[in-house]
Amino acid sequence: MYKILIADDHPLFREAIHNVIQDGFPGSEILETADLDSALAMTLENDDLDLVLLDLNMPGMHGLNGLINMRNEAPTIPVVIVSAEQDKQVVLQAITYGACGFITKSSPRAQMTDAIEQILNGNVYLPSDIIRSQKATTRRAQHNEQSIPPELLQALTRKQLLVLERMTKGESNKQIAYNLDIAETTVKAHVSAILRKLNVHNRVQAILSAGDIDFTAYLRR
């Protein structure tokens, strides 16, 4: 008996995943929505949710930004990305940013049931065929070209560097606040300052551009 939210803007896919859950996990309570704003509202109204199935490309998501927003607003509710995307780097980034699994929409029904079961049992689920692929090479090269110039990193305070380091590990503002023993409002202020100083528009851009940084070298100064 589980309580699961399906957040996807395609009615046919919502119906398909609804049937997968109904057949695989009889008696479960299933909620549905079609955009990020209502999904966030539902997670706040239903803090007893066991799982959120989050479409990567529905309205309001803006790619992985939507996942980060969801993790910040509801850090205790497991979130799995459901997408037609099959790029290995996107899958790995989703896990880095706090998703507990990644299910491709082309997965056979039995595989979807198995994936959801693994996640509900507390495991992380990754599509093995994508993880074994080598498609991330080009994306990785592009990522390296986007790295932050050293002078911009030098402009960050030590506390901002510590916050950025934890951002790259996929931690939410609440988690960063707890781990650094500071208020969540302070974390938000640091994040805003980091985005401004690094000249990036959002959290995902900051995380991607800082992915290869050796923070130890900068924190030793």
Give the pLDDT score at 143. Answer: 45
Give the pLDDT score at 132. Answer: 62
Name the architecture of domain 150-220. Answer: Orthogonal Bundle (1.10)
CA distances to 67, 84, 133, 215 from 56, in Å: 8, 8, 20, 30
Give the pLDDT score at 123. Answer: 82
Q: Who contacts 183 (Cβ-Cβ below 8 Å, separation ≥6)? A: 177
Q: Where in the chain is the domain with CATH 1.10.10.10?
A: 150-220
Per the CB < 8 A criterion, the answer to whether 89 and 136 are in contact is yes
Q: Where in the chain is the domain with CATH 3.40.50.2300?
A: 3-134
**Global pTM?**
0.65
Give the pLDDT score at 146. Answer: 52
Per the CB < 8 A criterion, the answer to whether 31 and 4 are in contact is yes
Give the pLDDT score at 144. Answer: 45
Fold of 3-134: Rossmann fold (3.40.50)
Stretches in the chain below the pLDDT threshold 50: 135-145
